[in-house]
Amino acid sequence: MLRLNAPMLQRLQADWDARRRGREFPARGDFDPCDLTYALGYISLIDVLDDPLRFRFRLQGTGVVERTGADITGKFIDQMKDRRHYEMANGHFGEVLETRRPVVKVRRAYVTDVRVWNCEILVLPLSSNGVDIDMMMSCIAWDEVHAASPAPIAPAATRLAGQR
């Protein structure tokens, strides 16, 4: 059983589990966006493509776009400019594929190339045929106690200049 802190993620995981209906994974079509209004702006859909394995953001929630300042809808994660964010996402998505289970990650002051992350991220596997994971649903719950948003960090040259 996953240990989820955010009530929104707990509810989403319970909704995912209920939609499995005895299958290993639910399909994207098992979810009506109207039933997910509690998390809609923080949900992203990620296509899983084979040969070679790649992940593409089919949809990125508007709340995620607002908080991160980047809309990567329709883009592959290896096209991310923030390389540490790419490594973080690629590892998380890869773990879902490897374990064939939902995976949650908690980021506390996790620094990527351009941001400091304070959030909990749940990634749920989806399957159109009930066996092969061909899509994932992610949801981010921002930690309002630790930070109002993933704060941008200054480029290294700017930080170094300010330290003199």
pTM to 2 decimal places:
0.82
> Is residue 157 one of the residues assigned to a domain?
yes
DSSP 73: T
Question: pLDDT in tens for each of the 164 residues of the chain?
Answer: 689 999 999 999 999 999 999 999 999 999 999 999 999 999 999 999 998 999 999 999 998 888 877 888 999 998 887 788 788 899 999 999 999 999 999 887 665 545 566 889 999 999 999 999 999 999 999 876 544 444 444 444 333 444 33
> Is residue 2 one of the residues assigned to a domain?
no
β-partners of residue 126 are 135
> Is residue 12 one of the residues assigned to a domain?
yes
Domain that holds residue 89: 7-162
- Please answer whether residues 110 and 87 qualify as being in contact, where contact means their C-beta atoms are separated by less than 8 angstroms: no
CATH (domain of 107) = 3.30.450.20
> Is residue 1 one of the residues assigned to a domain?
no
